[in-house]
Chain A
Amino acid sequence: MADPILEVKNLHVHFETHDGTAEVINGIDFSIDRGETAALVGETGCGKSVTVKSIMGLLPSATIPEGEIRYKGEDVLSLSDAERHSRRGKEMSMIMQDPMTSLNPVLTVGEQMMDVLKWQGRPRLSLSKLVRDTLSTGAKAEHRTRAIEMLGEVEISAPERVFESYPVELSGGMRQRVLIAIALLSEPDLLIADEPGTALDVTTEAKVLDLLDELVEERDTSVLYITHDLGVAREVSDRINVMYAGEIVEQAPTADLFANPQHPYTRGLLESIPTLSTGIGDGIEGHLPDYTNPPAGCRFADRCPHAEAACHEAYPYPRQTGPDHATACHLFEGLPARERHESLATDPVNIGTAPWLTGGDAPGDISADGGTDQ
């Protein structure tokens, strides 16, 4: 990795639930270079939001028994709450998954935007509103202009009116754009977008994607884009991390991932997506495992058409399957992608080669119907 702005190493995230400890995130590693857009892709409940909230420090109820999150080289997990707070906004900023709940219903859009501009990088809870207002009168007009400008940039057609509106007065698409405007106001170096398009219509979502693209280009922002839609990930990202049940099962540059999808889960997903030219596949039987009692070996084994007995026992640590491609599956040989797994590699599991690589016509073989491997 040339110059990573964010590095996540061996991150584990647990929750205490009434059924016991939920081991949701199980040792994930990924990084984002400066100016790069990385995507985190996976189905509902696979841990995408937990991952990014851990990065932002927004999960008070979680424990992180192990792992490192480095932002510009600094280990953010060892920082105090105040120090972490000071890095939100100006340094990293996040567009939350749900536009309805992440805007404050009793404040106008303008008030919420001004708040960001006035208080970015400073804890605001310790001061009363009165003191805040006296302190900030000078900057007010300037901030207002800036905020309205930003609303215009996210293509809100009547920015002055929206500036004075309350969130309930806006349509879903407009709320989402307001959130994006707020996230971009402080010109963060790292922008985390948690499924910003999911609540939108296709035409509005497409527009939001274009917009992000443009703004990223202009400001050289790094983006972590969360989505369950591989088509969207293909459009926006330079690199893709495919997540299943709290583990990253495959990571590669975007073009490479689509040209040469390796993990049976990635292939199953690709095969399930309805396409214009090749149809719709069979899908993947089954569902996510229970996080309070996760499988000992591969977390995908119960649903995998290629699983052998060994898959249920041995952890399929991510392995290097190409110069910049790592896959966590026993069907592939390769040096461990992480040093900490070297001891596991001394005793390799042999379940043969992936059938689609040996010319066999196995389930999950998407090349058979002219799929993605041109």
Chain B
Amino acid sequence: MNDSAYTTEPTAAAQPDRDLDDPMVSVENLKKHFPLFEGIFQKKAGEVRAVDGVSFSIAEGETFGLVGESGSGKTTTGRSMLRLTEPTSGRVEIDGQNVVDLSDGELKRFRRNMQIVHQDPASSLNPRHRVKSIIEAPLKIHDYGDSEARLERVEELLDMVDLPREFMYRYPGQLSGGQKQRVGIARAVALNPKFVVLDEPTSALDVSVQARIINILEEIQEEFGITYLFITHDLSLLKNVADRIGVMYLGRLVEVGDVDSVFGSPQHPYSRALLSAISTISEEDELAKPDRITLDGEVPDPREKPSGCAFRSRCAHEFDACAVEEPELYERGPDQVARCFLHDDRFEEGAEWE
């Protein structure tokens, strides 16, 4: 099956010993449906199933990467996990605690364990507050020491994100995009959270700045064992930062696995198309990805759940079964599953893969 030229079959030895039996974060059948209203009486006129039954786990100190095109539900997944938007249903366990069950008061206290870094550093920092009070805010909310202890912590955090301590007295408007994002990171890790959602933390930045931010995030993770959910469009970036990844399409995960398996041998036609579209800067990388697959066909309207497989309108492999029922996640390796009928033994005849 996996005999194409770009396959880099993961060896058993290369598998890190990952404790997924006792994960730091686990998501089970998470759903978030946004109701749509119309008319002057705001009658409910349907819903967008932004996240529609997502499950995955992240081992402590690891990074789970979430990739997929615009509108596929990545941000909504991250925000529902932190209850920044209320999930419709599902279970989200962080450090053994089901976050979905927490009362408002409990949630407020639990927030110190879970934080987010937003995509757009400019709009996520209050322009009228100095850097010091921005980073200090979560410390104050959670009663972290006296003002002296907090100042010390702010200095420590600035060192951590590689910003001069004097920057404490600047306003966000006086910082470059990369510097603002460092402030966002310092604020997110101020209380030593267990889990941080990084929602496209570098996509507003130039590559030369991105590389420094990524290095800082990795240093912090290594030192404090933080668990990350890393959301991005950029597959080459994900290959470098993630231990395991999930590929999202229309609110569902269509492939999940460890990063080497999914990149080495993508098992869902959509993952394969995504990988094939990466632009590279070397021959070596060119050979390491599938041949270009262009996706034809329309992206389905998110308000109307398509019958059968959600990807079939754009899939080159579509066959009879795809329109009838929705494929489940089929096991494709020690840590790799893909939601595609091509991997169902029942359909060996109709299915063409490779």
The smallest beta-carbon distance between B144 and chain A, in angstroms, is 31
Measured between beta carbons, the chain A residues less than 8 angstroms from B280 are 231, 234, 275-276
Contact A202 B235 (CB under 8 A): yes
User: Given the complex of chains A and B, what is the CA–CA distance between A287 and B297 in angstroms?
Assistant: 42
With contacts A279-B240, A287-B178 taken as known, whether A203 is within 8 angstroms of B281 at the C-beta atoms is no
Contact A235 B279 (CB under 8 A): yes
List CB contacts (< 8 Å) of A227-241 with chain B: 228-232, 234-235
The smallest beta-carbon distance between A322 and chain B, in angstroms, is 20
User: Given the complex of chains A and B, what is the CA–CA distance between A372 and B273 in angstroms?
Assistant: 26
Q: Counting CB contacts under 8 A, is B151 at the interface?
A: no
Bits for B243-280, please: 1 = Cβ < 8 Å to A, else 0. 00000000000000000000100000000011011111
Measured between beta carbons, the chain B residues less than 8 angstroms from A229 are 207, 279
Q: Counting CB contacts under 8 A, is A284 at the interface?
A: yes
Contact B288 A276 (CB under 8 A): yes
Contact B274 A203 (CB under 8 A): yes
Measured between beta carbons, the chain A residues less than 8 angstroms from B178 are 287
Q: Counting CB contacts under 8 A, is B325 at the interface?
A: no
Contact A231 B279 (CB under 8 A): yes
Among the stretches A11-19, A264-272, A306-314, the one at the interface with B is: A264-272
Contact B206 A44 (CB under 8 A): yes
Taking each of A155, A172, A206, which has the highest tally of chain B beta carbons within 10 Å of its own beta carbon?
Answer: A206
User: Given the complex of chains A and B, what is the CA–CA distance between A206 and B281 in angstroms?
Assistant: 15
Q: Counting CB contacts under 8 A, is A256 at the interface?
A: no
User: Given the complex of chains A and B, what is the CA–CA distance between A229 and B299 in angstroms?
Assistant: 26
Q: Counting CB contacts under 8 A, is B283 at the interface?
A: yes
Q: Counting CB contacts under 8 A, is B126 at the interface?
A: no
With contacts A202-B274, A210-B292, A274-B236 taken as known, whether A284 is within 8 angstroms of B282 at the C-beta atoms is no
User: Given the complex of chains A and B, what is the CA–CA distance between A277 and B273 in angstroms?
Assistant: 19
Contact A207 B285 (CB under 8 A): no
Contact B282 A258 (CB under 8 A): yes
Measured between beta carbons, the chain B residues less than 8 angstroms from A343 are none
With contacts A43-B206, A210-B294, A274-B239 taken as known, whether A280 is within 8 angstroms of B211 at the C-beta atoms is yes
Contact B285 A228 (CB under 8 A): no
Q: Counting CB contacts under 8 A, is A374 at the interface?
A: yes
Contact B208 A43 (CB under 8 A): yes
Name the residue of chain B whose CB is nearest to the CB of A287. Answer: B176
With contacts A203-B273, A275-B285, A283-B209 taken as known, whether A234 is within 8 angstroms of B279 at the C-beta atoms is yes
User: Given the complex of chains A and B, what is the CA–CA distance between A283 and B288 in angstroms?
Assistant: 23
Name the residue of chain A whose CB is nearest to the CB of B287. Answer: A277
List CB contacts (< 8 Å) of B168-226 with chain A: 176, 178, 206-215
Q: Counting CB contacts under 8 A, is B9 at the interface?
A: no
Measured between beta carbons, the chain B residues less than 8 angstroms from A349 are none
With contacts A202-B69, A234-B280, A235-B279 taken as known, whether A276 is within 8 angstroms of B285 at the C-beta atoms is yes
Measured between beta carbons, the chain B residues less than 8 angstroms from A371 are 282
Q: Is the interface of A mostly helix, strand, loop or mixed?
A: loop
Chain B residues within 8 Å of chain A by Cβ, number:
43
The smallest beta-carbon distance between B245 and chain A, in angstroms, is 13
Measured between beta carbons, the chain A residues less than 8 angstroms from B288 are 276-277
Measured between beta carbons, the chain B residues less than 8 angstroms from A203 are 69, 273-274, 277, 294-295
Q: Counting CB contacts under 8 A, is A205 at the interface?
A: yes
Q: Counting CB contacts under 8 A, is A281 at the interface?
A: yes
User: Given the complex of chains A and B, what is the CA–CA distance between A171 and B300 in angstroms?
Assistant: 12
Measured between beta carbons, the chain A residues less than 8 angstroms from B237 are 274, 280
List CB contacts (< 8 Å) of A247-276 with chain B: 258, 268-276
The smallest beta-carbon distance between B213 and chain A, in angstroms, is 8
With contacts A201-B69, A202-B235, A274-B234 taken as known, whether A269 is within 8 angstroms of B207 at the C-beta atoms is yes
With contacts A157-B297, A201-B233 taken as known, whether A276 is within 8 angstroms of B279 at the C-beta atoms is no
Contact A273 B212 (CB under 8 A): no
Looking at the complex, which one of A155, A228, A272, A372 makes contact with B282 (CB distance below 8 Å)?
A372
User: Given the complex of chains A and B, what is the CA–CA distance between A87 and B99 in angstroms?
Assistant: 63
The smallest beta-carbon distance between B233 and chain A, in angstroms, is 7
Q: Counting CB contacts under 8 A, is B284 at the interface?
A: yes
Instruction: Give me the interface of B with A, judged by CB distance under 8 Å.
Output: 69-70, 176, 178, 206-215, 233-237, 239-240, 263, 273-274, 276-285, 288-289, 292, 294-299
CB<8 Å pairs between A and B, sample of 26? A157-B296, A157-B297, A201-B70, A202-B233, A205-B277, A206-B276, A231-B236, A234-B279, A269-B207, A270-B281, A271-B211, A272-B210, A273-B207, A273-B236, A274-B239, A275-B284, A276-B236, A276-B239, A276-B280, A276-B285, A278-B284, A280-B211, A280-B214, A283-B209, A285-B212, A374-B283
Considering the complex of A and B, which 3 residue pairs feature the smallest CB-CB distances, nearest first? A283-B211, A231-B279, A283-B212
